[in-house]
Structure 1
Amino acid sequence: MEMTEILNKNLMKTNMNAKSKDEVLHELAELLLANGNITDIEGFIKDIYAREAEGQTGIGNYVAIPHGKSAFVKDVGVAIGINNEEIPWETLDGKGVKGIILFAVGDDVEAAKDHLKLLAMFARKLGNDEVVANLLQAKDQNAIVTAFV
């Protein structure tokens, strides 16, 4: 699995005006539903919140990577949102979040492998301050892709 294979411009949204974690998760889940990655928004988000309850997904630097295994995932996908304003989120550095990378992975054994690959792939990229800066300043889908590749 390569970054270029997983990045899908149909699953990216910039200039978002969400005011809460719930709003941003719903907006990104709508993209996943429209693209055929998930079959039910509320069921999927319930599974994301179950994972959120286990520990924070805000990795610091204004970025969060919410994720969770869900039976409502039909096809692995990554929805990426860039919010205009910082929103409250449980993070490692105590700051809010502007960049949200929402993983949609199934709940079977094969999906678990994909899940770990995705986490590792994005964690490597997001460990680079320049990648994060470019991501948070992205004004369109092309700029998001450019930040990661």
Structure 2
Amino acid sequence: MNVKDVLDERVIDLNMKAADKKEAITNLAGKLKNAGYIADVESYVKDIYLRESQGQTGIGHYVAIPHGKSDSVTQVGIAIGKMENEIEWETLDGKGVKLIFLFAVGNDNENAKTHLKLLAEVARNLGNDEAVEQLLSAKTVEDIKAVF
């Protein structure tokens, strides 16, 4: 399984509106719930914040990759939110965030392996400044898929 396999336009919002980190995560979690990736928004978001408390997920260049294992996850997926304006987030470079990759990963070992593989693939692409620029200027889901 690679990132292209899990990109689902039902959980990608390229015109997301969010005033802050909590609203952004909750919006994307709602999309995951509506598309059948998670069973419960509240418990999923709680698990994401548990992971957030262990270290920042803002990797710089306006990008964050919040993730965490949750029993609420019914199917591995990645919700993506892109915003015009940056929101405050704890990041490596001190800038805000405009692009969020929210991972939905279950607690079992198979999910953990898939999660690490997907996270590594996303991180590898996000280490490329040109790829980040393409993602930040993406207008369609196909634009996002082209980067991966």
TM-score, normalised via structure 2 length: 0.96
- Which residues of 2 match residues 1-149 of structure 1 at below 5 A? 1-146=1-146, 148-149=147-148
Q: Which runs of 5+ in 2 are unaligned?
A: none
Identity of aligned residues (%): 55
Q: Which runs of 5+ in 1 are unaligned?
A: none
For the 8 Å contact 1:13–1:140, the answer to whether it is kept is: no
Which whole-Å deviations, capped at 9, do the CAs of 1:44-81 have from their partners, x for residues lacking one?
Answer: 00000000000000000000000000000000000001
Supply the distance in 2 between the matched residues of 1:37 and 1:3 (Cα, whole angstroms).
Answer: 15
Could you state the TM-score of these two structures normalised by the residue count of structure 1? 0.96
Whichever residue aligns with residue 31 of structure 2, its letter is L
For the aligned residue pairs, the C-alpha RMSD in angstroms reads 0.9
Q: Which amino acid aligns with 1:10?
A: R
Assess if the C-alpha contact under 8 Å between 1:9 and 1:142 holds in 2: no
How many residues were matched structurally?
148
Query: C-alpha displacement at 1:11, in angstroms?
Result: 1.3
Q: Report the more deviating stretch, 46-55 or 22-31.
A: 22-31
Q: Secondary structure at the match of 2:99?
A: strand
Deviation at 1:142, TM superposition (A): 2.2
- 1: CA distance between counterparts of 2:141 and 2:114? 23
